[in-house]
């Protein structure tokens, strides 16, 4: 519960800071000089803090939830919401301060982020807390590490043979989320992970590589990678 509250509080703090900056940047009483400065601070906050928050949330929370049947569809919807938020930030970056398009983008961004945070708080986090093998305290620590500019440990081999079946997929998806484009790890399993591959195809279509290094009879080794971003 403490970890869940910590993750919620971080989102609430981000939203409060954004709301204050949006209110200032869109205030009619400001001079053109002050409005320009407030708009610049808003864009900087969005590109540095909001986008960073979205990326970390995707790597730490969404990646785990994407590997569970109970939360997979919810994560797909939230990732669409993330893309919409990023689009509004881009509109904000391109707009002139004080222009109608800037004001509209700022308020749309605020609404989208609030909706996203509320869904995470009320639906996603409670659901993740019930997933087998998920430790919210560890997830919160991972988020803190990434937000400080750190790097999460990425072992070259993930052996899930001793992990109960219901706890394997969230662990594997969390490992995949840590990969940079072009990086990979070896999954060791005691059965052919065909259902896992179908989940990868549904969640990360054309974004992953899958190559068998060993196919039974008692152990399977699969080389799983994140494909490089196309130029």
Q: Residues with Cβ < 8 Å from 121, sequence gap 6 or more?
A: 8, 11
If you average pLDDT over each of 118-127, 128-137, 148-157, which comes out highest? 118-127
Query: Residue 208 and residue 197: Cα distance in Å, rounded?
Result: 10
pTM of the model: 0.74
Pick from 2-16, 91-105, 109-123: least confident? 2-16
Cβ atoms of 154 and 178 within 8 Å: the answer is yes
Question: Stretch 173-187: mean pLDDT, rounded?
Answer: 85
CATH-assigned architecture of domain 153-226? 2-Layer Sandwich (3.30)
pLDDT in tens, 189-214: 999 999 999 988 887 888 899 999 99
* pLDDT greater than 60 at residue 2: no
Choice between 53 and 146, residue whose per-residue pLDDT is larger: 53
Sequence ranges of the chain with CATH classification 1.20.120.520: 2-139
> In DSSP terms, which residues pair with 187 in a beta bridge?
158, 222
CA distance 97 to 32: 8
Q: Could you tell me which residue, 105 or 134, shows the higher pLDDT?
A: 105
- Cα separation of 169 and 172, whole Å? 5
Residue 164: the pLDDT is 83
49-81 pLDDT, tens digit per residue, is: 999 999 999 988 888 888 677 888 999 999 999
Which value, to the nearest 10 degrees, does the dihedral of the CA atoms of residues 179, 180, 181, 186 take? Answer: -30
CATH 3.30.110.40 in the chain is located at 153-226
**How far is it, in rounded angstroms, from Cα 64 to Cα 191?**
21
Minimal CA–CA distance to 171: which of 63, 37, 30?
A: 63
Cα dist from 160 to 14, 166, 173, 179, whole Å: 36, 11, 12, 18
**Predicted pLDDT of residue 189:** 96
**Cis status of the peptide bond prior to 217, with omega within 30 of 0:** yes
Name the CATH superfamily, with its identifier, for domain 2-139. Answer: nmb1532 protein domain like (1.20.120.520)
pLDDT band for position 154 (cuts 50, 70, 90): confident
Interhelix angle 100-119/2-25, nearest 10 degrees: 170
Give yes or no for residue 185 having a pLDDT over 90. yes
- Residue 42 — pLDDT band, cuts 50, 70, 90? very high
Q: What is the mean pLDDT of residues 7-21?
A: 90
């Amino acid at each position: 519960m403490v970890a869940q509250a910590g993750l919620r509080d971080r989102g609430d703090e981000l939203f409060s800071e954004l709301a204050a900056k949006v209110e200032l940047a869109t205030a009619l009483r400001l001079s053109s000089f002050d409005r320009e400065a407030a708009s610049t601070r808003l864009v900087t906050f969005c590109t540095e803090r909001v986008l960073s928050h979205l990326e970390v949330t995707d790597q730490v929370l969404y990646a785990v939830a994407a590997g569970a049947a109970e939360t997979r569809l919810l994560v797909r919807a939230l990732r669409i919401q993330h893309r919409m938020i990023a689009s509004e930030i881009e509109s904000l970056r391109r707009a002139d301060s004080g222009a109608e398009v800037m004001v509209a983008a700022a308020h749309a961004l605020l609404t989208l982020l609030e909706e996203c945070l509320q869904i995470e708080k009320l639906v996603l986090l409670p659901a993740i807390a019930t997933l087998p093998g998920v430790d919210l305290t560890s997830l919160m620590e991972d988020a803190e590490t990434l937000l400080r500019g750190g790097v999460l440990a990425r072992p070259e081999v993930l052996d899930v043979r001793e992990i109960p079946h219901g706890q394997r997929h969230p662990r594997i998806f969390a490992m995949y989320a840590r990969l940079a484009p072009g990086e990979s790890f070896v999954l060791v399993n005691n059965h052919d992970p065909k259902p896992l591959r179908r989940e990868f195809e549904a969640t990360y279509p054309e974004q992953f590589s899958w190559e068998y290094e060993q196919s039974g009879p008692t152990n399977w080794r699969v080389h799983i990678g994140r494909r490089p971003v196309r130029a």
